[in-house]
Amino acid sequence: MPNAGVVSSYSVSRMGMVHTISGSVPDNQTAPCWVVLSGNGRFAYTTNTGSGSVSSYAIGFDGTLTLLNSVAANTGSGSGPLDAAISNDKRFMYFLTPGTGNIQGFELGTDGSLTTVNTISPIPASAGGLAAR
């Protein structure tokens, strides 16, 4: 559904039981696809494939999610961001945007913000995954 994207959080007990923490936190975007956590575990980011954007969430100590920014990064109309990865040093996040044939890089701010640093293109049209180091 357009503009009906949500993200949820869960805990897993030692016995493998799953429990809902935040059942449905809307970002008002379309088709959330991939979620990646910041290196410090304080923030979560979701690619919104249908909206050409990335949303950001704060993660509470207990795992609760709070929307920080519905559009933390605009990857562009038709970009269709699918996958996301964080660098080994936890300072940069990358998004695979096959709709525009590139990978977009962002610096992670201490407040959870994303600042554009570079765009890599072209990428193969068949690219469907992303890993970063």
pLDDT for res 82:
92
CATH placement of domain 6-120: 2.130.10.10
Can you say whether the dihedral through the CA atoms of 11, 13, 15, 18 is positive or negative?
A: negative
Q: How far apart are alpha carbons 116 and 131 in whole angstroms?
A: 18
- One digit per residue, the tens of pLDDT, for the chain of length 133 reads 899 999 999 999 999 999 999 999 999 999 999 999 999 999 999 999 999 999 999 999 999 999 999 999 999 999 999 999 999 999 999 999 999 999 999 999 999 999 999 999 999 878 888 988 8
Element (H, E) at 117: strand 114-120
What integer pLDDT is reported at residue 125 of this predicted model? 78
Cis, peptide link before residue 26, omega less than 30° from 0:
no
pLDDT computed for residue 128 by the predictor = 85
25, 7 in Cβ contact below 8 A? yes
- What's the CA gap between 1 and 63, in Å, rounded? 26
pLDDT of residue 6: 97
Is there a contact between 38 and 86 (Cβ–Cβ < 8 Å)? yes
Structural domain boundaries of the chain?
Answer: 6-120
